Amino acid sequence: MPYKRPQIEKIYYTIGEVARMFTVNTSLIRFWEKEFDIIKPRKNKKGNRLFTKMDVDNFHIIYHLVKERGMTLSGAKKKIAENKEDAMQNFEVVSKLKEIKQFLLEIREEFDIN
């Protein structure tokens, strides 16, 4: 039986990696970090920000509320403060629906070619 390498998941992400995940500038990541107290990156000895998986999940919620749903920063802060679980659930539902849509578009593309 061949050796199968275990999947390695990162513990910390740099600000550049997080910015690339959301296709935004690093300055926006720093701004959201200051605006939203749910994001608490660690800093190494050089002062570089290191974001955890939880921070990235929180960025997903903020991105969804601000960029995709068009909420203001104060509206997003209020929504997160009132009911973070509801915001997270809405984000997960939208993500799943996008995955399903992409899958269906790929199927349609296959049938159009053949």
Chain segment 12-61, per-residue pLDDT in tens: 999 999 999 999 999 999 999 999 988 999 999 999 999 999 899 889 88
Nearest to 56 by CA among 14, 18, 90, 1: 18
* pTM value surpassing 0.85: no
Give the per-residue pLDDT at 113: 66
Query: What is the span of the domain harbouring residue 82?
Result: 13-113
How far is Cα 97 from Cα 70, in angstroms, rounded to an integer? Answer: 19
Q: Could you tell me the strand order of the sheet in which 49-51 lies?
A: 13-14, 49-51, 42-43
Task: Answer yes or no: is 81 within a domain.
Answer: yes
Residues 6+ apart with CB under 8 A from 79: 65, 71, 86, 87
Task: Answer yes or no: is 24 within a domain.
Answer: yes
- Here the CATH number for the domain that contains residue 24 is 1.10.1660.10
Give the per-residue pLDDT at 79: 85
- Please provide residue 39's backbone torsions phi and psi, each rounded to the nearest 5 degrees: -100, 115
How far is Cα 18 from Cα 33, in angstroms, rounded to an integer? Answer: 12
Task: Answer yes or no: is 8 within a domain.
Answer: no
Number of folded domains that form the chain:
1
